[in-house]
Amino acid sequence: MTGKILFASDLDQTLIYSRRSMGDYGHPHLLVPIEEYKGRIISYMTTLAVKRFCEAARQAIIVPVTTRTVEQYRRVKLPIRPSYAVVSNGGHILREGHLDKKWHDKILSQISDKCLDIGKMEREFAKIAKPDWVTSSRRADQLFLYFLIERDKVPSAELKAFACWAQEQNWRLSIQGRKLYLVPKPVSKWTAVEEVLKRVGKPFVVAAGDSLLDQEMLEKADLALAPAHGELWATHGPKKRLHHHGENEESLKRISFLPQQGIVAGEAILNHLLALCEDKKESSAISS
């Protein structure tokens, strides 16, 4: 393998972690604050992950790819600020911190042409969103909807029927932890990553993520890494694969689930990336 590597990675529960999501990590003195909100540190990386991130940034093109809104992404202080970032689940591309208006306008046009209006989708969901299981709602950058929910109180049959109806309107429904997302199909992490690839010379793509909203990106990447936690693990992890049969079976097999859980999984993902970068350098040296 020769040429550049682009590392397209989800952030939350992949590279950065809250106290709740980091798992049983017994070394609080080795945590590095990454995000502050309302005077409180809410996201961390380990010192080793920070070191590996900086090493990787010297050898690969790092592109954060997140469902976070623009405002939420800008709160995150990564060890090195990447030149490109995909935010709002692909609805926005940032270049050197600036919004790419042409890309955003293109996505808005596709939504307008192909999808039910966001206001109408919001009103339809409100018909089943009872206060006992939906605790809050928000529009994310006027692109998609997300809701905080009580998972044990979700009306499964009613929600499944709604998800089928939403699919017909070119919207996807996804549950990640305590959040339920309703996202128009043109708002896609992989579609935005493809746009970045065109701009940087179509390098070898390594992708990492833990959620179902990352699945397409991981399936389309040249190499895909996922931790042993999150919705992707719960739905498509090794134990699930024994019973999984369907049209995406082969592409799902290409996702490498690492054994690590919690915040140490971020270290493991970056270690794998660096090992690949070293392999690339050796291959380039041999070929030259």
Q: Tokens for 130?
A: 């009872």
Residues of the chain with pLDDT under 50: 1-2, 242-243, 247
pLDDT at site 3: 62
| 120-133 residues labelled b (16+ CB within 10 A) or e (exposed) | ebeebbeeebeeeb
Q: What are the φ/ψ torsions at residue 149 (nearest 5 degrees)?
A: -130, 160
Lookup result for tokens 């972690």: 17
Q: Which residues contact 74 (CB under 8 A, 6 or more apart)?
A: 97
Question: Which residues are 138's β-sheet partners?
Answer: 146
pLDDT at site 187: 98
> pLDDT tens, 240-268?
654 455 545 666 778 999 999 999 999 99
Domains of the chain: 5-106+187-287 (3.40.50.1000), 116-184 (3.30.1360)
Structural contact between residues 288 and 247, judged by C-beta atoms closer than 8 angstroms: no
The model carries a pTM of 0.92
Q: How far apart are CA 66 and CA 88, in angstroms?
A: 6
Which helix or strand (DSSP H or E) is residue 226 part of?
strand 223-226
CA end-to-end span of the chain, whole Å? 12
Q: What are the φ/ψ torsions at residue 260 (nearest 5 degrees)?
A: -80, 145
pLDDT at site 2: 45
Q: Which residues contact 152 (CB under 8 A, 6 or more apart)?
A: none
Q: How far apart are CA 29 and CA 199, in angstroms?
A: 40
Q: How far apart are CA 256 and CA 263, in angstroms?
A: 17
Lookup result for tokens 């989800």: 10
